[in-house]
Every structure is written in C-alpha cells, then in structure tokens.
Amino acid sequence: QVQLVESGGGLVPPGGSLRLSCKISGGTINTWTMAWFRQVPGKEREFVIGNRRRGESPNYVNSVKGRFTMSRDNAENAMYLQMNNLKPDDTATYYCAATTRRLITSTMRDSSEYDYWGRGTQVTVSS
C-alpha cells in the first residue's frame, strides 16, 4: 500500500524559508510523476510544482517561479519542496501527490491525474 507523508510545515514571516518533505512508502518513485499542490479553504487544490523523474526540469506555477524548487531523492524515496522568499499568499495546506504514470506537461497540473496523496502540512506566512 502506497503512503505519502508530508512534514516541515509551520509558521514563517514574509521573506522566510521552509523546506517541506514527502516520504513515500509502498513503492519506488524513480519513474513516478511527483508533484506538490496546495489548497486554501474554499478554493480548489492548486498545482505548485512537479516533475516526472529526478533531475528533470520541473513544471511550476508562475507565482512560485524563482522562489520554489523541488528535488527528489530516489535512495530515500522522498521528495522535497524548498520554499524561499515566502509571501502571505503562499499560506495554504501543502500536499504531495504521486502517480506511477508518466504524465505529460498539460496533464501534470490536473489533480485528478494523481493516484496517491499525502494528508498535507500547513504553511502559514505571517508577521
């Protein structure tokens, strides 16, 4: 059974940084499409960043360009989201998502394409 567990969220002032982790069990992520999504109450879950294998240039939403990066550690079966220069609009619950399928760019942003989800970790950006 595949399980995804996020960690690393918290409260950070504007301009601060956080690193989120997603640990995966029950499968190996080497060829999986992996992504981070985020959601605020009353809004749809939003794609943030994702890729299809370790080292591949990620697909990301413009609002995080130059501030967020993702990495994958196949040996640890983990994925990470480094968030720098955080803004209040980044406040959300962050979810890691995975599918064994190799998604194309146009579908990577569609949350319905993912088979596995973590339970989320809260990120709050506030002074």
Helix (H, G, I), strand (E, B) or coil at 105: helix
| pLDDT at 106 exceeding the cut of 90 | no
pLDDT at 55: 87
| pLDDT at 22 exceeding the cut of 90 | yes
pLDDT at 11: 98
Distance of alpha carbon 68 from alpha carbon 47, whole angstroms: 13
Task: Judge residue 113's burial from the number of C-beta atoms within 10 Å of its C-beta, 0-12 exposed, 13-18 middle, 19 or more buried.
Answer: middle
Q: What percent of the chain has pLDDT over 90?
A: 92
Task: Judge residue 20's burial from the number of C-beta atoms within 10 Å of its C-beta, 0-12 exposed, 13-18 middle, 19 or more buried.
Answer: buried
pLDDT at 105: 87
Beta pairing partners, 70: 81
pLDDT at 72: 95
Question: How many C-beta neighbours within 10 Å does residue 122 have?
Answer: 12
When pLDDT is averaged across residues 89-117 and rounded to a whole number, the result is 96
* pLDDT tens-digit map of 30-86: 999 999 999 999 999 999 999 998 889 999 999 999 999 999 999 999 999 999 999
What average pLDDT is seen over the chain? 96
